[in-house]
Amino acid sequence: MDILKLNAISPLVGEILTSDDYNITEDAAAPVAVLVRSANMHEMQLPESVLAVARAGAGVNNIPLDELAKKGVCVFNTPGANANAVKELVICALLLASRKIVRGINWVQTLTEEDAAKAVEKGKKAFVGREITGKTLGIVGLGAIGRLVAGAALALGMNVIGYDPYLSPALAEKLDSRVKTVSDLDALFAAADYITLHVPSTPQTKGCINKDSIAKMKDGAVIVNCARGDLFVDEDVIAAVKSGKIDRVVTDLPNNKLLGIDGIITIPHLGASTPEAEDNCAVMAAKELKDYIEQGIVVNSVNFPCLDPGAKPAGKIRVTALLKADALPAALKAVSGEVKTATRGEYAYLVADGDTDSLAELEKVKGVIKARRI
């Protein structure tokens, strides 16, 4: 089976999608699945043979999720696989913002005096910074990255408060007890000396850092954005830095508006740019594809209901289907054996393990988008 890769990807995928069963290639007429990192898929015409797309990373803005769901193509991402890499960059960003390190390094490179050491001792007072120990870090979003940042910040002696309206009780239990969670984002803005963003780009979060939210922050606060560029209203952020309301901004998502402004440190999107993160993402993406293709297991899908029915029982015939949720009662009548289902919005996903092949009957059900036999 051909797996089409749209970007260079870690060779470790070959240890999961082995050559005995899969051919990972950059050119395939009828691939069973697609591996992608940053390639824009919105204008692509995928062959009908494609069952799934796996994004080796967390963001899926480059993939037409709704369109693929309508065609029964499952899309996966790899949440948490690059979390440690991003966490380390966030800690780096906090220190860069506090100690005027970038400005100081740039100044040292301009020294032409014969005795540079003497010039440094004379000029270093211009780059006096502050320590982060004892300061309060506000973390917006307590997912995989946010939780790691919280642990690292606590280890560095910071006080940590977090905001995440979608934090499940199970994940809340994994938080260090020293992390104070708040249900009001404004309370976090008011209390934090440093604010770091770890939320996806959604209609609710786009532009969440704007003149109104900035007005609720402490004077001289620092903002770190290693999440998504459109969380900023750029004009409002720039105005706040120039006025001194915000002491410094560090962003891993630069654009033309944010370049060359004193007080804004721009990093060239390095959050997940480590070989370790790339390996982790690739391996997770490969495992997701293998499990879905061979067993019908859906984990970390961003457009299908997630369902892990376990391995297909020996001697049983497994059929799966993505269908409209309102077609589920009719689909259940069309299959036999042990049936497991999950729903998500307008869609349902069904896995049936039976003694007889019910694929043909399942395909007759109105509302079934794609059904297949494992």
Going by CATH, does the domain composed of 305-374 fall within 3.30.70.260?
yes
User: Which DSSP state fits 307?
Assistant: B
pLDDT given for residue 183 in this prediction: 94
What digits encode the pLDDT tens for the residues 280-295? 999 999 999 999 999 9
What does the alpha-carbon distance between residue 136 and residue 191 come to, in Å, rounded to a whole number? 7
Q: What is the pTM of this model?
A: 0.84
pLDDT given for residue 45 in this prediction: 93
pLDDT given for residue 257 in this prediction: 97
What digits encode the pLDDT tens for the residues 333-355? 999 999 999 999 999 999 999 99
Q: How far, CA to CA in Å, does 138 sit from each of 135, 171, 181?
A: 10, 18, 9
What digits encode the pLDDT tens for the residues 206-249? 999 999 999 999 999 999 999 999 999 999 999 999 999 999 99
Strand partners, 321: 350, 371
Average pLDDT over all residues of the chain? 96
pLDDT given for residue 112 in this prediction: 81
**183-191, Cβ contacts within 8 angstroms, sequence gap of 24 or more:** 185/140, 185/213, 186/213, 186/216, 187/161, 187/163, 188/138, 188/140, 188/161, 188/162, 188/163, 189/138, 189/213, 189/216, 189/217, 190/216, 190/217, 190/218, 191/136, 191/138, 191/161, 191/218
Residue 57 has pLDDT above 80, yes or no: yes
CATH architecture of 83-266: 3-Layer(aba) Sandwich (3.40)
What digits encode the pLDDT tens for the residues 146-157? 999 999 999 999
Residue 58 has pLDDT above 90, yes or no: no
**CATH number for the domain whose boundaries are 1-82+274-303:** 3.40.50.720
Domain boundaries, the chain: 1-82+274-303, 83-266, 305-374
* CATH topology agreement for domains 1-82+274-303 and 305-374: no
Residue 114 has pLDDT above 80, yes or no: no
Residue 179 contacts by C-beta under 8 Å, 6 or more apart in sequence? 142, 150, 154, 160, 161, 162
